[in-house]
C-alpha cells in the first residue's frame, strides 16, 4: 500500500486540480506574455500535488530587463503548479522551446531521492497512450488514481528540470513512479539570475526516456516545488512554444 500511495502521488501530478476541471482544450500553449501583470495567466489552471501541501505562488509580472510579461513563481515549503489541457499530434510539432530564469538553487535537493525531490523550475508534458501495454500493477494504479481524483490522468509525464548537479541531458526516473521521467536541461549555479533559453525535440526525448513513441500530447504544465526540502525559492518562466521540425 505504501508503494501504491507514492505511485498515486506522482500520477496525480497531472490530475489533481485546486479548481474544478474545465472542459476547454487549447489549440496551442497560451503565452504568458499575452497576459496583464499581477494575475494568474489566462488559460492555465492551478493543480496541487496533494491537498495538504502549501501552494506555490504564481503571478504574471513585467520582466525588468525585457519589458515583457513573464510568470513569477515563489515556493516556500510549497508544491503546486499550473497546467493547460491540449490535444496535439506530436509528429506535427515535435519540438518545444521555452525560457527560464532561475534565481537560486535548492540546498539539499536531489531528484533521485523522494525525500529531497524538489526543483526550482520544471516543464511538464503530459501524454496519452495505450495502457494495455503497461504491467498490471501500473494499469491498476492509473485506474485507482482516476477513481480517487474523478478525472483522467496521463499515461506518461515527461519533465524537463533544473537540477543542483548534472550532467545535463541525464534522464532520471521519478523515485515515485516509472510513468514520470525527468530530463536535466540545466544544472548548477552557472547562469543563475539570467534568462536561459531551451529547445528540445520532445518526441526524441520521450523515446529515450520511455522506450516507445509518444501518444498525443494532452497537456503542458509548470512546477516550482520545495515541499520536501522546506526551502524558499524564486524563479521566472517565459513563454512555452510548440514548434515543427526545422527545415
Mean pLDDT of the 147-168 span: 88
Domain that holds residue 112: 2-243
Looking at the 3D structure of the chain, how many domains does it have? 1
Name the pairing type of β-strands 217-225 and 79-88.
Answer: antiparallel
Evaluate if residue 17 carries a pLDDT over 80: no
Evaluate if residue 23 carries a pLDDT over 70: no
Evaluate if residue 54 carries a pLDDT over 80: yes
What CATH number has the domain bearing residue 19? 2.60.120
In tens, the pLDDT along 170-194 reads 999 999 888 999 999 999 998 999 9
- Threshold 0.95, pTM exceeds: no
Within its chain, how far is the Cα of 151 from the centroid? 18
Residue 68's pLDDT is what?
A: 96
Evaluate if residue 48 carries a pLDDT over 90: no
Which runs of E-coded beta strand occur in the chain? 45-48, 57-62, 69-76, 79-88, 95-102, 122-127, 156-163, 171-173, 180-187, 195-201, 217-225, 232-237, 241-243
What is the Cα–Cα distance from 157 to 135, expressed in whole angstroms? 17
Residue 171's pLDDT is what?
A: 97
In tens, the pLDDT along 100-137 reads 999 999 999 999 999 999 999 999 999 999 888 888 88
Confidence tier at 22 by pLDDT (50, 70, 90) = low
Amino acid at each position: 500500500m505504501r508503494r501504491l500511495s507514492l505511485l498515486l502521488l506522482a500520477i496525480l501530478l497531472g490530475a489533481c486540480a485546486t479548481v474544478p476541471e474545465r472542459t476547454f482544450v487549447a489549440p496551442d500553449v497560451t503565452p504568458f506574455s499575452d497576459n496583464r501583470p499581477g494575475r494568474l495567466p489566462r488559460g492555465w489552471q492551478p493543480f496541487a500535488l496533494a491537498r495538504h501541501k502549501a501552494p506555490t505562488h504564481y503571478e504574471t509580472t513585467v520582466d525588468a530587463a525585457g519589458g515583457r510579461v513573464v510568470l513569477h513563481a515563489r515556493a516556500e515549503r510549497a508544491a503546486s503548479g499550473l497546467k493547460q489541457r491540449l490535444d496535439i499530434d506530436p509528429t506535427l510539432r515535435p519540438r518545444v522551446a521555452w525560457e527560464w530564469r532561475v534565481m537560486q538553487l535548492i540546498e539539499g535537493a536531489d531528484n533521485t531521492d523522494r525525500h529531497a525531490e524538489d526543483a526550482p523550475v520544471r516543464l511538464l508534458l503530459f501524454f496519452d497512450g495505450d495502457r494495455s501495454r503497461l504491467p498490471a500493477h501500473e494499469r491498476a494504479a492509473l485506474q485507482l488514481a482516476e477513481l480517487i481524483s474523478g478525472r483522467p490522468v496521463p499515461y506518461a509525464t515527461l519533465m524537463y528540470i533544473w537540477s543542483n548537479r548534472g550532467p545535463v541531458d541525464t534522464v532520471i526516473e521519478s523515485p515515485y513512479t516509472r510513468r514520470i521521467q525527468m530530463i536535466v536541461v540545466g544544472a548548477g549555479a552557472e547562469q543563475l539570475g539570467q534568462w536561459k533559453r531551451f529547445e528540445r525535440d520532445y518526441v526524441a526525448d520521450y523515446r529515450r526516456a520511455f522506450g516507445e513513441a509518444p501518444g498525443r500530447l494532452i497537456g503542458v504544465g509548470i512546477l516550482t516545488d520545495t515541499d520536501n526540502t522546506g526551502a524558499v525559492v524564486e524563479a521566472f518562466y517565459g513563454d512555452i512554444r510548440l514548434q515543427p521540425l526545422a527545415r
